[in-house]
């Protein structure tokens, strides 16, 4: 049975849980990010139920609003971070240090120091050089750094090249053959405690095969490590579970989106991957980001103008690449729906923002119910990699964020003001 999304239409009006989306847009203005608490909880629990013996570290980079982190922390999640800034946010949102992991190819010395001082669960080593630096820093602090070694298994995740991280030419992780020596070396370093192996092959992966391939790779690799006298206790399998972006909301008054896309159900993922990984006897962690937060968030904007040129129809909205960069960055597809369905008539239009860049579009040649100046629209599945990559380009103000809980709602980040635009600059005296 298809579970109902917590965003749905009632009498042709878009709701989030028990709250009309229009009400939030009117009270707080647009563009605005709106999140469903129930959807976050449901997404997390569906993963937790499928992976009952594993630890789930939520990947902060998908969305790091502390009010959202608090919900996940209360459900038992840990935090997967990629910078000291994210470690700082995680700690200040209540995550225990022993539930925080830290990955990334270019960790600065200061970041490593911060991680070790805070005694986090693991630093995931991505190069032979980094291992030595971590040992040195730990030694100076008179502490032991717990590490995982990130392997690049050379597996094609069959996703967009910009979010594929596990192929040979990618900058992430260490070549498996070369890594054997890194594992060996780690055992001889005085201030390093080797926990195990880390992989993360990419993001928005909707086929289970690349994950199965990675699991098999890890199983064989661990046998190889054992032959070399290296015993590990931990596997961090990364994140990357893909979600649906098309036909997220289906309604008789909305056009059905062509070339419907797939999603990877956690139970399918678990059924295929767990039996392989469990053979190792290792403790398991997973680091999903998108799967937990993507469909729990939307961004709502207003139609500023509609414009017809000889070549195209344009719907010009207050949502631009500064609020949601995914379409400009990877030609990502997001379903776009009117907050109130007024017309059964549809048109084909480019939905664009005000930013002075041709790449500033949310959708191109999109079939959408006809909308007019002043109407609200919602961009679906915008909870992940949305707000976190917003910017002030064109001196635009970052949007507000609201969390919905049934009929209650909470402002969880205020909209920026003009003062914010100048708050960090320093005027010269002359
Ligand atoms: C980005 C990232 C994740 C999360 O990826 P999702 O596709 O959002 O699940 C997990 N682990 C690492 C190391 C990452 O860089």
Q: Is 142 helix (H, G, I), strand (E, B) or coil?
A: coil
Residue 242 CA, closest ligand 1 atom number: 7
**Contact partners, residue 252, CB within 8 Å, separation at least 6:** none
Which helix (DSSP H) or strand (DSSP E) does residue 70 occupy? helix 66-74
With b for 16 or more beta-carbon neighbours within 10 A and e for fewer, the 202-213 pattern comes to bbbbbebebbbb
User: Per-domain residue ranges for the chain?
Assistant: 37-290, 297-422
Instruction: Provide the percentage of residues in the chain whose pLDDT is more than 70.
Output: 99
Nearest residue to 92 (alpha-carbon basis) of 125, 124, 114: 114
- DSSP one-letter code for 63: -
Q: Rounded to whole angstroms, how far apart are CA atoms 285 and 47?
A: 12
pLDDT tens digits, one per residue of 20-33: 999 999 999 999 99
Q: Residue range 385-408: average pLDDT?
A: 98
Mean pLDDT taken over the chain: 96
Q: Is 16 a catalytic residue?
A: no
Instruction: Provide the percentage of residues in the chain whose pLDDT is more than 90.
Output: 93
Q: Rounded to whole angstroms, how far apart are CA atoms 393 and 320?
A: 10
**pLDDT at residue 200, as a whole number:** 96
Output the known binding site: 240, 287-290, 326, 330, 357, 385
pLDDT tens digits, one per residue of 158-189: 777 777 777 778 889 999 999 999 999 999 99
pLDDT tens digits, one per residue of 129-161: 999 999 999 999 999 999 999 999 989 887 777
For the CA atoms of the chain, what is the radius of gyration?
A: 23
**pLDDT at residue 163, as a whole number:** 72
Q: Residue range 261-273: average pLDDT?
A: 96
Q: How many whole angstroms from 240 Cα to the centroid of ligand 1?
A: 6
Which residues' Cβ are closer than 6 Å to ligand 1?
A: 59, 61-62, 80, 82, 103, 200, 203, 238-241, 287-291, 384
Which segment of 84-88, 154-158, 212-216, 377-381 scores lowest on mean pLDDT?
A: 154-158
- The answer regarding whether domain 297-422 maps to CATH 1.20.58.100 reads no
**pLDDT at residue 2, as a whole number:** 46
Q: Rounded to whole angstroms, how far apart are CA atoms 36 and 18?
A: 10
Nearest residue to 376 (alpha-carbon basis) of 405, 408, 342, 406: 342
CB atoms closer than 10 angstroms to residue 54: 20
Cα of 428 vs its chain's centroid, Å: 39
Q: Which one has a higher pLDDT value, 158 or 98?
A: 98
Nearest residue to 370 (alpha-carbon basis) of 340, 338, 346: 346
- For 11-17, the CB contacts below 8 A with 24+ separation are 12/253, 12/340, 12/341, 12/342, 13/339, 13/340, 13/341, 14/337, 14/338, 14/339, 14/340, 14/378, 16/298, 16/404, 17/404, 17/405, 17/406, 17/407
Q: Rounded to whole angstroms, how far apart are CA atoms 270 and 211?
A: 10
Output the known binding site for pyridoxal 5'-phosphate: 240, 287-290, 385
Q: How many whole angstroms from 186 Cα to the centroid of ligand 1?
A: 25
CB 258 within 8 A of CB 345: no
User: Residue 386 corresponds to which tokens in the numbers above?
Assistant: 């949305």
Residue 203 CA, closest ligand 1 atom number: 7
Output the known binding site for substrate: 290, 326, 330, 357, 385
- Which of 150, 157, 240 is the best mutation target for the ligand 1 pocket, counting ligand atoms within 8 Å of the beta carbon and taking the most? 240
Q: Helix-strand-coil percent breakdown of the chain, rounded to 5?
A: 35, 25, 40
**pLDDT at residue 227, as a whole number:** 97
Residue 279 has pLDDT above 50, yes or no: yes
Nearest residue to 92 (alpha-carbon basis) of 111, 123, 67: 67
CA angle 279, 212, 41 (to 5 degrees): 90
Q: Rounded to whole angstroms, how far apart are CA atoms 60 and 212?
A: 25
Residue 63 has pLDDT above 50, yes or no: yes
Residue 263 has pLDDT above 60, yes or no: yes
Residue 1 has pLDDT above 80, yes or no: no
Q: Rounded to whole angstroms, how far apart are CA atoms 158 and 218?
A: 19
Residue 267 has pLDDT above 90, yes or no: yes
pTM score, two decimals? 0.96
Residue 294 has pLDDT above 50, yes or no: yes
Nearest residue to 148 (alpha-carbon basis) of 216, 64, 57: 57
Q: How many whole angstroms from 141 Cα to the centroid of ligand 1?
A: 29
**Contact partners, residue 95, CB within 8 Å, separation at least 6:** 69, 73, 78, 79
Nearest residue to 342 (alpha-carbon basis) of 12, 20, 85, 4: 12
Cα of 240 vs its chain's centroid, Å: 9
Among residues 1, 4, 311, 356, the one annotated as catalytic is 356
**pLDDT at residue 3, as a whole number:** 55
Q: Rounded to whole angstroms, how far apart are CA atoms 43 and 7?
A: 14
Residue 291 CA, closest ligand 1 atom number: 9
CB 156 within 8 A of CB 207: no
Q: For domain 37-290, give the fold.
A: TIM Barrel (3.20.20)
Q: Residue range 398-420: average pLDDT?
A: 98
DSSP letters spanning 193-235: EEEEEE---BSSB--SHHHHHHHHHHHHHHHHHHHTT----EE
CB 302 within 8 A of CB 238: no
CB atoms closer than 10 angstroms to residue 372: 12
């Amino acid at each position: 049975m298809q579970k109902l999304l917590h965003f749905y239409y009632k009498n042709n009006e878009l709701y989030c849980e028990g709250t009309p989306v229009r009400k939030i847009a009117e009270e707080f203005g647009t563009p605005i990010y709106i999140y469903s608490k129930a959807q976050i909880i449901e997404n997390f629990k569906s993963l937790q139920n499928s992976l009952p013996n594993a630890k789930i570290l939520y990947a902060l980079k998908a969305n790091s609003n502390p009010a959202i982190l608090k919900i996940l922390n209360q459900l038992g999640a840990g935090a997967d971070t990629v910078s000291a800034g994210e470690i700082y946010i995680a700690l200040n949102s209540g995550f225990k240090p022993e539930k925080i992991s830290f990955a990334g190819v270019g960790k600065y010395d200061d970041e490593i120091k911060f991680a070790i001082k805070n005694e986090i669960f693991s630093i995931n080593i991505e190069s032979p050089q980094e291992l030595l630096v971590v040992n040195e820093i730990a030694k100076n602090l008179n502490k032991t750094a717990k590490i995982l070694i990130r392997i690049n298994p050379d597996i094609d995740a069959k996703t967009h090249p910009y979010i594929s991280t596990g192929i040979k030419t990618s900058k992430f992780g260490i070549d498996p053959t070369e890594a054997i020596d890194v594992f060996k070396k780690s055992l001889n370093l005085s201030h390093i405690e080797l926990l195990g192996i880390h992989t993360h092959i990419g993001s928005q992966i909707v086929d289970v095969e690349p994950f199965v391939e990675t699991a098999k790779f890890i199983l064989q690799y661990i046998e190889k490590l054992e032959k070399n006298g290296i015993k590990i206790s931990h596997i961090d399998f990364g994140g990357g579970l893909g979600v649906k972006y098309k036909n997220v909301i289906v309604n008789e008054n909305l056009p059905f989106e062509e070339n419907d896309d797939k999603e990877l159900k956690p139970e399918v993922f678990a059924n295929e991957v767990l039996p392989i990984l469990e053979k190792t006897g290792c403790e398991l962690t997973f680091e999903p980001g998108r799967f937990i937060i993507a469909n729990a968030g939307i961004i709502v904007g207003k139609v500023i103008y509609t414009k017809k040129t000889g070549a195209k129809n344009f719907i010009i909205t207050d949502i631009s690449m500064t609020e949601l960069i995914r379409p400009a960055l990877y030609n990502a597809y997001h379903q776009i729906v009117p907050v109130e369905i007024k017309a059964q008539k549809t048109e084909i239009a480019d939905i664009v923002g005000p930013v002075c860049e041709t790449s500033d579009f949310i959708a191109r040649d999109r079939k959408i119910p006809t909308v007019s100046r002043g109407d609200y629209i919602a961009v679906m599945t915008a909870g992940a990699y949305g707000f976190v990559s917003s910017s002030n380009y064109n001196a635009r103000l970052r949007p507000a964020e609201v969390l919905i809980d049934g009929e209650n709602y909470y402002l969880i980040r205020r909209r920026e003001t003009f003062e914010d635009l100048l708050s960090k600059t320093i005027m010269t005296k002359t």
